Amino acid sequence: MYYTELIKRFLKAPYKLVKFYRRVKPVLNLLNITSKELIEYMFDFLVDFRFHLHIERKIRMAKRVSKNPKLGGWIDLPSGIIVYTVIRKFKPEIVIETGVGPGASSAFILKALEDNKKGKLYSIDLEHRLWNPRRPLEKT
């Protein structure tokens, strides 16, 4: 299921928002993010359908060209909202991301940096053939 469909379901069923809030409340408390801030950032994020449609196209394209039909590594929407919220709240100048994979978490980070109107993302990842679990690690 793609993000826009999840967002529609999310917005049509208020109990899902409550369930989401209960799930993320410990993270919000730890990072001193208020409920009001979460709602403001979620609204900013959820209304940008252009972003979500872009991500969906990228997922479909990646699945088409991938030899792995399951194509793992995509961040789920609630986790993406948390990543987005943290970046929006703390407005970092530099974000360093390791273990990029297909790049969905990078998209959430870049969206938050764009909405903050500042910051740079540096992503570090191994080549696919190096992190393939079926290929043994080589000694260097």
| Integer CA distances (angstroms), 111 to 81, 125, 128, in order | 11, 20, 25
φ and ψ of 98, to 5 deg: -115, 150
pLDDT digits (tens, 9 = 90+) for 64-93: 776 665 555 567 777 888 899 999 999 999
1-25: average pLDDT: 72
pLDDT at 66: 67
- Is residue 137 assigned to a domain? no
**Number of structural domains, the chain?**
1
3-state secondary structure of 78: helix
- Is residue 85 assigned to a domain? yes
pLDDT digits (tens, 9 = 90+) for 98-132: 877 777 889 899 999 999 999 999 998 766 544 45
φ and ψ of 106, to 5 deg: -60, -40
Domain range spanning residue 56? 3-131
Which residues are within 8 A (CB) of 6 and not within 5 positions of it... i.e. 6 or more apart?
77
**Does residue 36 register a pLDDT over 80?**
yes
**Does residue 139 register a pLDDT over 60?**
no
- pLDDT band, residue 53 (cuts 50/70/90): confident
Which has the higher per-residue pLDDT, 121 or 47?
A: 121
- Is residue 9 assigned to a domain? yes
19-41: average pLDDT: 88
User: In this structure, what DSSP letter does residue 118 have?
Assistant: -
User: In this structure, what DSSP letter does residue 2 have?
Assistant: -
Which has the higher per-residue pLDDT, 24 or 135?
A: 24
Contact 124, 97 (CB under 8 A): yes
- Is residue 136 assigned to a domain? no
- Is residue 138 assigned to a domain? no
Q: CA-to-CA distance for 113 and 91, rounded, in angstroms? A: 7
Q: CA-to-CA distance for 49 and 45, rounded, in angstroms? A: 9
Q: CA-to-CA distance for 59 and 56, rounded, in angstroms? A: 5
**Does residue 136 register a pLDDT over 60?**
no
pTM beyond 0.85 = no
Contact 16, 7 (CB under 8 A): no
- Is residue 140 assigned to a domain? no
